[in-house]
Amino acid sequence: MLKNIIKGIQAYTGTFQLISKLKLWKYFFIPMAISLATAILIGVSVYGLSDNVGRFISKIWVWEWGKETFTSIGTFIGGLIIIVIGLILYKHIIMALSAPFMSPVSEKIETHLTGIEKHNHRNTSFKQQLWRGIKINIRNLGMELLLTIPLLLLKFIPVVNIFSTVLLFLLQAYYAGFGNIDYTLERHYKFKESLQFVRQNRGFAIGNGIVFMLFLLIPVVGVILVLPLSVTAASSTTVELLNNKKQITH
């Protein structure tokens, strides 16, 4: 697992050069705009809702003693909950809406890496690619929220909350990498087959997603560049995995 995570991270090496070499930047303009607009919308929502959630949490403590301390903790945890949910929504929204624009990018990278001009790919339209992106991200959104809620509750337990933070980050990374990998899998596998493929290669998904999540910590530039670099890295890794499984043929 650890070895595959490292490989998923290393796949980002040379992504800028590959994008420029294949002249892929033009495909990223709309996804980058979607990413920036979504980040602004969710950022404003997070700012407005964090205090409200914090006050709601503080009402749980009905005693007077320690009320001020619990209110401070509740406000912090409330803000954290909104931020985590905001990040989850952000990545699934941009991945779903960007699917039709990322598929051609992934295909050009695959052609470049394999040297095969004509593949036995599944032929899908813009509408089908968009629906696939929406379908798989709704499924992943539900699964991620289901797993995130108990991890957020662990935030109230000292010491344990340190481990829950790490697990939250890795969970978000996994589903970010999942979405990036599926842009390539869309041409080769149907929905259920793709789910199985990613589960078998979850280390690569986590590695790709770790860098994806770290990019979001960079103000403005991060949300603009996160898709081009993460999708390019994921496509390169996925093509290699498919080649190893001999799934890519003339």
Does 217 reside within a domain?
A: yes
pLDDT tier at 109 (50, 70, 90 boundaries)?
A: very high
**Averaged over 118-146, what is the pLDDT?**
82
Two structure tokens written together for 248: 């890519």
- Number of domain units in the chain: 1
**Averaged over 57-72, what is the pLDDT?**
68
**Averaged over 34-44, what is the pLDDT?**
88
Does 143 reside within a domain?
A: yes
Look up the domain containing 164 and give its range: 2-27+99-244
Residue 123 is predicted with a pLDDT of 67
Residue 204 is predicted with a pLDDT of 96
Distance CA 19, CA 112 (A): 11
C-alpha distances out from residue 250 to 17, 112, 129, 134, 196, Å: 27, 14, 22, 29, 24
Does 73 reside within a domain?
A: no
**Averaged over 170-180, what is the pLDDT?**
94
Terminal Cα distance for the chain, rounded? 31
Q: Which residue has the higher pLDDT, 76 or 86?
A: 86
Residue bearing tokens 């949910």: 85
- For residue 98, pLDDT over 60 is answered with yes
**Averaged over 19-44, what is the pLDDT?**
91
Does 229 reside within a domain?
A: yes
Does 82 reside within a domain?
A: no
The predicted model scores a pTM of 0.84
